[in-house]
Amino acid sequence: MVIRIAAVGDVHMDRDVLGRFRPALEELPDRADVLLLAGDLTRHGTESEARCVATEFGNLGVPVVAVLGNHDYHCDEVPRVIRVLEDAGIVVLEGTNLVVERDGTRLGIAGAKGFGGGFAGRCASEFGEPEMKAFIRTTQAIADQLGEALREMDCDVRVALTHYAPVPDTLAGEPLEIYPFLGSYLLGQAIDSAPTELALHGHAHAGSERGTTPGGVRVRNVAHPVIKQAYSVFHLHAPQAGRSGKVSAITRSGSS
Amino acid sequence: MNERTRGGTEPPDDYLEAAIQRLLTEHTAIAEQGLTVTRRDHSLVVCGEVESAQRREEILRLVLERFPHLPVTVDIGLIRTQAPSEVEELR
């Protein structure tokens, strides 16, 4: 059983980008069973930019599932952005989940924007000024929702979708000083609280593609400036009872 | 156009570096958090990739407008949008 997952994040749509992704997206039904969008779909989070996302990523012939990113929050139009996306058939996850069935295999996707705070040993704490406590409480609340959304799914394969990074591995290339603004170990802990097969995120434009959580979950940074193509495709093989160990390999498109 | 240099001859200081970084992020017409600003000899270099040629032109215009006497090099590419030629098998 193989589920084919296409993913990209940080597409920052506006009118000037309309049509750039579409030729590659038209090929999606032949290449993937689902498209996941890892946040920062827009530049400023306006309703008009969301319409550009809907035009570019709607009606693709495969389910499209998204989380929002920090850019999508900038203009405080989140409910309107979500409505425009959902009117175009794009499912937006915010601490929630969705199970998609393909050829008898149930793919469970749990998604949340995530937030910052840093990584174990070098992270912010819920202590001191109200603003500092609010910062970490925000991350903790989102991570708690993500963990619950992952654990409660009845499915064969679990995928976590966030905008912020759950591990520092995929931030390699970014300045160390800004790691706390790029992700949080609390997201990784949530992902490790369920038998997750793959975690996808964006946000870190200068980061790198591959990493692993402390619990062994494969993590991929699919930010558009990182993958440098319209989307990446992952062939996720459903886990088989009695088999241990994980292998990843790159193959030419069209083969498996 | 991947590289253009304009501006005066005074070397930039740390505060100017920070001011440009904030301009790139906070100016409504730019809103780019993924660009880097580094000092090279006597100029500042703005590097990274954006989603359209229009955005690259706007960045150059606004940086030069805000800092007309600063020697600035803008080296910004367009992110490619071709379909992937490979898939990753995850077993």
pLDDT in tens, B20-75: 999 999 999 899 998 988 888 778 899 999 999 999 999 999 998 988 888 888 89
Those residues with Cβ within 8 angstroms of residue A160's Cβ, 6 or more apart along the chain or in another chain? A109, A110, A111, A146, A150, A166, A190, A191, A196, A198, A199, A200, A217
A contact test, residue of B37, B56, B58, B81 with most A CBs within 10 A: B81
pLDDT for residue B72? 85
pLDDT of residue A215: 98
CA pair distance A90, A71, nearest whole angstrom: 18
Give the pairing of strands A198-201 and A232-237: unpaired
What pLDDT is attached to residue A75? 97
Q: For B51, name the nearest residue in chain A, comparing CA atoms only.
A: A17
Name the CATH code of domain A2-237 (choices 3.40.630.30, 3.30.300.30, 3.30.70.1230, 3.60.21.10).
3.60.21.10
Locate A13 and state its tokens. 């749509």
Per domain, the residue ranges of chain B are 4-78
Chain A residue set in contact with B, beta carbons under 8 Å = 4, 10-13, 16-17, 20-21, 23-24, 27, 31, 43-44, 71, 74, 197-198, 205-206, 218, 220, 224-225, 227-237, 246-253, 256
Q: A228–B55: do the CB atoms touch at under 8 Å?
A: no
Tens digit of each residue's pLDDT, chain A (256 residues): 899 999 999 999 999 999 999 999 999 999 999 999 999 999 999 999 999 999 999 999 999 999 999 999 999 999 999 999 999 999 999 999 999 999 899 999 999 999 999 998 899 999 999 999 999 999 999 999 999 999 999 999 999 999 999 999 999 999 999 999 999 999 999 999 999 999 999 999 999 999 999 999 999 999 999 999 999 999 998 776 555 566 667 776 644 3
In this prediction the ipTM stands at 0.90
Nearest to A23, CA basis, from A239, A174, A231, A171? A231
pLDDT of residue A44: 96
> Pick the residue with more confidence: A139 or B9?
A139
What pLDDT score was predicted for residue B15? 83
Nearest to B82 among A17, A230, A234 (CB): A230
DSSP-assigned beta bridge partners for residue B77 = B49
* pLDDT (0 to 100) of residue B71: 86
Which H or E element spans position B18? helix B14-26
- CB spacing of A249 vs B89 below 8 angstroms: yes
The domain B4-78 having CATH identifier 3.30.1340.30: the answer here is yes
Inter-chain CB proximity B90 and A248 less than 8 Å = yes
Q: Do A16 and B52 touch (CB under 8 A)?
A: yes
Q: Where are the domains of chain A?
A: 2-237
How far away is chain B from the Cα of A74, in angstroms, using its nearest Cα?
10
> What's the pLDDT score for residue B74?
87
Chain A with chain B: Cβ pairs closer than 8 A: 108
Inspect the interface and report whether the beta carbons of B79 and A224 lie closer than 8 Å. Answer: yes
Q: What are the structure tokens assigned to A91, written together?
A: 């499912």
Nearest to B86 among A12, A246, A250 (CB): A250
Dihedral angle over CA of B5, B11, B12, B14, nearest 10 = 140
Cβ proximity of A31 and A8 under 8 Å: no
Q: How far is B35 from chain A (nearest CA, A)?
A: 8
> What pLDDT band is residue B2 in, cutting at 50, 70 and 90?
very low
